[in-house]
Structure 1
Amino acid sequence: MHPVLRLMPILMITLVMLLLSLTSVQGQTDSKPLILPFEEGPSLNTWLLGQGYGNTTGAYNNADRWYSAGQGMHFGLDFSAACGTPLVAVADATVAFVDDLSFGSAPHNLILRHESLGLTTLYGHLLNTPPLIQGQFVEQGQLVGYSGDPDGTCDSRPHLHLEIRSLDYRTTYNPVDYMDANWHSLALIGSFSNRFFQIDLDNARQWQTLGDQPDVAFGGRRLNAYAATWPPAFDRTPPASVPPAITSMPIPEDVTVTLQPLETTGCCADFWWHPINSNQLFTIDGAINSRASLFSWDVSVPELQGIVSTTPPPYYSPDFALSLTATEEGAQIQNIATGETWQVNTGGNPPAVNADNTLLMWMERGGATVPGQESPTNAVYLSNIRGEDTRLFMAEEGIDATWLDDHRLLLTLREQPNTRVDVVDIITGERYTLGSWYRPRAFSISPGGTRLAFYLSTQPNETDNGIYWIDIKEGAQTQKVSWIGAYRWRDGNSLFVVPFTPQSTVHQLWLYDIEEDRLRPLTNPTEQPFAIMDGRWLVNSDGSRIVFRNAVNGGSFSLLSIRDN
C-alpha cells in the first residue's frame, strides 16, 4: 500500500478526535475537584486505566490475599504505567506522610491531605521515596513522585494505586465521583480483565458500573462474600473455546447503522450472544434481593423472549449444541437437541469442548497465578466427550490453554516479563511458537481460530507500543496497525474499532479491513452520539449487531445494527 494511504487512518482519527473534543465540551458534567494524577494524558505510551474501584473481579478473586482489610473490595484505582512515570498532585494539599507503610502500597507511598475538600489521597507502589517532606504544601498539578511496581522489578506489574480517603483515613471513596475524567472513554482499553465487576446473583444490578460503587470502611465486614456469583471464581472457570468461523456479509460504503435502546431500567449485569443464531442474545438480570435469571432476547424484533434458566448459568460448547453445568466432580453435559445428559469426572476442574464436540480439555492448576511470584505448574488434560480415555497431555510452568478448533490448542506461557504463545496439534503433537512479547495485553482470537490480536503498551522501546494482529500459523509475522482503540472481531478478516479518544464523552464505530489495511468510520458522533459503558461491548455471530450499555442515554441497554441499504 502507498505510504500516503497508510497515513489516512491516522489523519481521519485525528480529525475525529478534534470533532469529538468539541462534542465532549458540550456534554461535560459539572466539574469535579480532582484532576488525574499524571503529567501526561492516557495512551499506550504513558498510562491506562487497569482496574476500577470497588466490586471488581480482581478484588473478588484476591479478597483474602490483598483486600481483606478493605471489606474484600478494591479500595482504589489502578493505572498501568511504566516505572518512572511522573505523578502530580490531584489538588492543592499538604503532605501528610511519606513512605508510611502502615498504609500499605509498598515499596513507597505518599499521603496528601486536602483539608478544604475533606479528603486525603494515597499514591501507592511508587518507584522511590517521593521528593517531598511532611507538612510541605503542594499545588494541584505539581510533581509529587514517580510510579513504580509493588514487586520492585518494573517488569512484573508496574502501576499506580490511587486511593481517595476520608480525613481520618478510615474510609475510602470512589475516585470516579471526585476526579474529572471521561471514565467510559478511559475504560475502553487497558483493563486487567475482560470485565470490571463481579455480580452478586442475589442482587444482580448492584455495583455494576464505574460510577456505582460503595464506600469502603477499613476493618468492616466483607462486602463481596456472595452466596452465588458470576463470573465463576478463577479456579472454577473453564478454559476458553473459540467461536466457530463465520461468513459475514460485506459492509457497503453507504451502510446504515441504527442505534436503539433494548431496555432502559438498568439491565443487564452481563450479556453475551448466541454463537450461531445472530438474533439471539442472553442476559443476566434480577431484582433486588432475589436470585437473578438467564434471559433470552430476540433482537430482530426486538423483544425479551423469557427466562432460559436460573443462575449461575451453564456454559456451552462453541456451537451451542451442548450445555455444561459445573459439578463437584467436573460437569454435567446435556445435548440440547435431544435432552440426553451425562456426567464427566474431571477432578472438579470445569472442562471446555472442542469445535466438533468430540473432545474435552481442562486445566488442573497448581495454584493461583500471583504477579511477582513464580508461576505454578499447570496440567492440561484431554478426554473424549463422554469423559472417557482421559490422558495428561502436558504439564508446564505458567501454562494456559484455549481451544482453537477441533484439534489445535493455543498455549500461553508466562515467562516473566514475557508471555510466549505456542500452538500445538493434539493429534500429531506438533508444536510451534507463534511469538513471545513483553507484557502483551488483551489477547483476542478471531472466529475459527485463524488470527490473534493484542496490544503492547509502555514498552522499553516506545516505537513498539501499538495494536497488532498475527495469522495463527507457523512462521507468521506480527502486523502493527496504524490506529489505537478498542477492538472486537467481526469475522476472520475484519475488526470493529472504537477509537481511543479519552478527551471525549462520546464514541464512534469504525471498521478495519485486515486484507486491505483500511480503516473507515461507520457512525457519525455528532449525528449518532453514544458511549460504551465500562468498556463492555459484544459483536453478534454474523457481525451485524453490537450490544452495550449506553452512557449517553443513562446506561440504557442498547443495540447498534449495521444494515445494507
Structure 2
Amino acid sequence: MRRARSLAALALATLSLATLAPAATLPSQAVLGGTCCPGTVWAPDSRSLLFLDGPPARAATGIYEVPAGGGEVTRRFSSVAFFSPRLLWAVRPGGSEATTLERLSDGRRFTLPTYGGDVAWTRSETRLAYARSDTSGNFDRRTTRVYVANAFGAPRAVATLYGGAVSGWIGEDTLLLSGKLAPGNRDRDLFTLNVLTGARKTLRTALGFRAVALSPDGRRVVYTVAFDSAARNGLWLQDTAGGAARELNVYGSYRWRDAQRLLLIPLGDVTGASGPHVLRQYSVGGGAWTTLGDLGDQVRQSDWNVSPDGTRLNFLSAASGNVRVLRLP
C-alpha cells in the first residue's frame, strides 16, 4: 500500500509538471565549438569558462579560458592539475602516494599521501579533506579512511567508513560524509562530522545516496535515493542541521543556482525523448517548482553547470558538441 501511494504521488507530480504550458526557448549562444571541451567549468568570478585542451586544436596542453559571452580563447594555466574552487591552489597527484599542493599566489608547496585522489576544500581554502579507500574487494565493504589537514599541515584521520565518500564541507569545521559504519551493514548513513570535536549527526539512512549536492551556504543538501524501499526512493532536500527530509517528487539532473533555488532538468520532460531539455527551478522557501524554459537543445551526458553568481548556465550540446551559454531568467 505504501509503495502504491508513493508511485501515485510521483505520477501525480509528473503529471502536474507535464501539463504546464509549453516552455519558451531560452536563448543561448555557442562560446566553444568543435566538440573540444567536455567538462567545462566556471571561473570563480562568473565572467569566463575554463576547460582542458591541447593539440591539435591548441598549440600546447593546458587549462584554457573563454569569456562567458564568447570571444578570444587564452591559456590560463600552462600545467594540468585539479584546481581549487577559488583558484587559490593547484593539486597535482604524483606517480605514487604523494600529491603536491601548490599555493598559486606564491608558489609555496606541500605534499599529502592522497594516492592520487582529489581533495575537498573549505570555503576559505585553508583546510581540506580527502579519502583513501582500499583498492580491491566489494566496494560496499571496502574500508575508506577520511583525513583532514590544514594548509601546510600534517593529515589527521577523522573517520573510517565502508563503501563511503566525502560529500563536502559544511562551514570550516564540519564535513558531510556518507557510508557504512560496519562492513556488514546493509544501509549507509548520510551524516555530519565536526572534525574538531568529533560530534556526529545522522541526517538520513538508506541503501545508498547519489548525486549528493550541498547548497552554496552549506545549510541544505539535496540527494537521490534509488533501488531502496518505496518510502526511501526519490529526490530529497534536507537541512544539514537535521530534521525531516522533504521529498521533491521528480527525478532528473540538478544543480544549485544559489542558496534558495535549485535547478533541475527532469528525466522524461514534456517535449519527449527527441525534443529539447526543459529547465525547472525549485524555490526552497516557497516549496514550488516553476518552468524557466527549454534549452532549445539537449544536454550531453549531464554536462552542465551554473555560474557561481547564479546568473548564467553553460551546457554541452548533444546536437553539435558545442559549449553553449545562456542567461538565466
1:550–1:556 Cα contact (<8 Å) kept: yes
Deviation string, structure 1 residues 68-97 (Cα, Å, up to 9, x no partner): xxxxxxxxxxxxxxxxxxxxxxxxxxxxxx
CA gap 1:360/1:454 in 2 versus in 1, 3 angstroms = closer
CA gap 1:329/1:376 in 2 versus in 1, 3 angstroms = closer
CA distance in 2, matches of 1:397, 1:466: 23
CA gap 1:295/1:489 in 2 versus in 1, 3 angstroms = same
TM-score of the aligned structures, taking structure 2 as reference length: 0.82
What are the within-5 Å matches in structure 2 for residues 145-156 of structure 1? none
Residue 370 (structure 1) aligned with residue 135 (structure 2):
no
1:470–1:479 Cα contact (<8 Å) kept: yes
2:238–2:245 Cα contact (<8 Å) kept: yes
Of residues 15, 25, 43, the one that matches 2:19 is 15
CA gap 1:263/1:470 in 2 versus in 1, 3 angstroms = same
2:225–2:235 Cα contact (<8 Å) kept: yes
Residue in 1 that maps onto 2:168: 403
Of residues 308, 313, 321, the one that matches 1:541 is 308
CA gap 1:331/1:507 in 2 versus in 1, 3 angstroms = same
CA distance in 1, matches of 2:97, 2:108: 15
1:442–1:454 Cα contact (<8 Å) kept: yes
Q: CA deviation at 1:408?
A: 0.7
What are the within-5 Å matches in structure 2 for residues 321-400 of structure 1? 321-327=88-94, 328=96, 330-336=98-104, 338-346=105-113, 348=115, 350=117, 351-368=119-136, 370-371=138-139, 375-388=141-154, 390-400=155-165
2:38–2:316 Cα contact (<8 Å) kept: no
CA gap 1:302/1:9 in 2 versus in 1, 3 angstroms = farther
Q: CA deviation at 1:368?
A: 4.3
Residue in 2 that maps onto 1:480: 247
What are the within-5 Å matches in structure 2 for residues 151-190 of structure 1? none
More strand by share: 2
Q: Which runs of 5+ in 1 are unaligned?
A: 1-6, 21-254
Task: Compare CA radii of gyration and give the structure with the larger one.
Answer: 1
CA distance in 1, matches of 2:316, 2:83: 24
Of residues 87, 103, 108, the one that matches 1:320 is 87
1:256–1:562 Cα contact (<8 Å) kept: no
Corresponding residue SS for 1:449: coil
Residue in 2 that maps onto 1:270: 39
Letter in 1 for 2:51: T
CA distance in 2, matches of 1:512, 1:369: 40
Residue in 1 that maps onto 2:280: 510
Q: CA deviation at 1:521?
A: 1.2
Corresponding residue SS for 2:144: strand
What are the within-5 Å matches in structure 2 for residues 5-84 of structure 1? 10-15=14-19
Count of residues in correspondence between the two structures: 310
Residue 413 (structure 1) aligned with residue 179 (structure 2):
yes
- Structure 1 stretches of 4+ moved >6 Å: none
Residue in 1 that maps onto 2:222: 453
CA distance in 2, matches of 1:487, 1:382: 28
CA gap 1:323/1:369 in 2 versus in 1, 3 angstroms = farther
Residue in 1 that maps onto 2:209: 440
Residue in 2 that maps onto 1:204: none
Deviation string, structure 1 residues 395-437 (Cα, Å, up to 9, x no partner): 3433422431311111111465422111111112111111111
CA distance in 2, matches of 1:529, 1:396: 43
Q: CA deviation at 1:13?
A: 1.8
Deviation string, structure 1 residues 271-304 (Cα, Å, up to 9, x no partner): 1112x311121112334599743211221x3224
Letter in 2 for 1:431: R
Residue in 1 that maps onto 2:7: none
1:353–1:385 Cα contact (<8 Å) kept: no
RMSD: 3.0
Residue in 2 that maps onto 1:307: 75
Residue in 1 that maps onto 2:6: none
TM-score of the aligned structures, taking structure 1 as reference length: 0.50
1:270–1:285 Cα contact (<8 Å) kept: no
CA distance in 2, matches of 1:512, 1:279: 25
Corresponding residue SS for 1:13: helix
CA gap 1:353/1:375 in 2 versus in 1, 3 angstroms = same
Deviation string, structure 1 residues 492-537 (Cα, Å, up to 9, x no partner): 21111112226332111111101101111111x4xx6221112221
1:455–1:466 Cα contact (<8 Å) kept: yes
What are the within-5 Å matches in structure 2 for residues 103-114 of structure 1? none
1:508–1:530 Cα contact (<8 Å) kept: no
